[in-house]
Amino acid sequence: MARKLSRQATLPAMRTSDDNQIEISGPGWHAVHARRTVNGPQSLTVNDTEILRDCVCCVGGLADRAAVIDSIRDKRNANADVVMANGTLPFGNEIEFLHTYRYGDGFARIITDLTFRRGSTAAPSVDIGSLTLPGPWKSYRIATEADDELKLSDWRTIEDVTWNQPPLALILEHHSGVQLEIGIGNDLWRWQKGLLTPQTNAGCYALKTSGDDLEFTRSVTICDEDTVPKPRVYRFSWYLAWQTLATTTELPTGTVEPVFSDDGSLDTAATGTQLAPGTHLALDMAAITWPPTLYRARHGRISTRPCLASSAVITRLRRIVRQLAGLEQQEFALVFRNLQPGLCDVGRHADQKQSAAHWDMSDLLAFSLWARGCLGPERRILVDCAGFDCPSMNRLFACLPQENEIVDTWDYE
């Protein structure tokens, strides 16, 4: 039976810059970063509807918009349009902020580095990526864990709601039909422990109505004046994804499977003989044999899918994609199955010595940028969302590098 899949756009993001602002734009959307402040983006507009008006980080009640600017740069790197903003609060604890934004078509991956100096306090709270969202908004849903699997909740009417733990992803539907997804990166463990430890940290994540607008505040650490975090750099990663109504297409039943050698590499000769113009090649992540240490594991239960937070998994996937790009027959579509994100607590996947909770949505977005650059703008790439239909999944591989800017590098973060 034919299966409904999300179809990916293949139009580029474009970057324009002047003395006042940096604008990143794609088909039907644009984001603005002001050069007068390190916080951002100042706005995100989709289909002529502003859905994000401000994004701030706060330490001890002082927002990053008050920081003295050290540098603001924009560039193109690894098939993404990149904005980097660095600044330091000129008073109090002199906290340093470094924000890095990496844009694809319909999504942005964001990293915030906070530098705490010796004796710096965080009271009353540390907020990361709190957002003002112009309305009116209709409904919301969240990504939630059930039986060690990720699922999307049912749509709920907009209301004031508070979470003690960070939602992996919050998806909001605007009355215009635009959907906005706000998710944390692969460092779930960092969001859970904040600037302290999992046992001592307390956070608060709140969605509040303000007329037609929404305020989404993310306090990763709430503490008293006696709390002094260790002097170091604290890194938090998160992402935004947005879409209008997703277009769909039917996957033909006649697909072929890649053939793998005993060493795990793609058997290019055997795979190539199956391909013809119009063929759909289905790459099933759960059907590939992986070393046992690379599978996701949660509370002792091992998944059938690998963890994309592991650099070893990404290295092998990159090798497979390169081999596909080198086949003589190139007039085929590529279908990814079982590529949905998942939760894992194997610490070494996230470069942690001990068990550390993480999920791999941001790694999946990064891989999709690289793969699109490797396979080229004309390649038709489909993703079977299989019950996890949300803006981030629908925007996978939706990036087109500018001419002569395909960069064969992995973006380690």
Residue 155 has pLDDT above 90, yes or no: yes
SS3 410: coil
**Residue-level pLDDT at 147:** 72
Q: Write the pLDDT tens digit of every residue in 318-366.
A: 999 999 999 999 999 999 999 999 999 999 999 999 999 999 999 999 9
Q: Write the pLDDT tens digit of every residue in 211-258.
A: 999 999 999 999 998 888 999 999 999 999 999 875 565 666 678 999
Structure tokens at 123: 């009271």
pTM of the predicted structure, to 2 decimals: 0.91
Whole-angstrom distance, CA of residue 397 vs CA of residue 370: 8
Task: Report the b/e string of 36-71 with b at 16+ CB within 10 A.
Answer: ebbbbbbbbbbeeeebbebbbbbbbeebbbbbeeee
Answer whether 154's CB lies under 8 Å from 87's CB: no
Residue 402 has pLDDT above 70, yes or no: no
Amino acid at position 343, single letter: L
Which domains are assigned to the chain? 7-243 (2.70.98.10), 248-394 (no CATH)
SS3 374: helix
| Paired residues of 100 in beta bridges | 84, 111
Smallest CA-to-CA distance from 54 within 45, 41, 65, 70 is with 41
Q: How confident is the model at residue 109 (pLDDT cuts 50, 70, 90)?
A: very high
SS3 123: coil
Task: Verify cis geometry, omega within 30 degrees of 0, for the bond prior to 341.
Answer: no
Residues contacting 407, CB < 8 A, separation 6+: 77, 78, 79, 373, 401
Structure tokens at 53: 């008006």
Q: Write the pLDDT tens digit of every residue in 14-42.
A: 677 777 999 999 889 999 999 999 999 99
Structure tokens at 38: 């390190």
Q: Write the pLDDT tens digit of every residue in 168-207.
A: 999 999 999 999 999 999 999 999 999 998 888 999 999 9
Unique residue bearing structure tokens 């003690």: 164
Whole-angstrom distance, CA of residue 394 vs CA of residue 382: 9
Structure tokens at 212: 């037609």
Smallest CA-to-CA distance from 45 within 34, 58, 31 is with 31
Unique residue bearing structure tokens 């990064």: 366
Q: Cα separations (Å) of 253 from 4, 48, 150, 216, 281?
A: 11, 38, 27, 43, 11
**Residue-level pLDDT at 13:** 55
Q: Write the pLDDT tens digit of every residue in 271-313.
A: 999 999 989 999 999 999 999 999 999 988 999 999 999 999 9
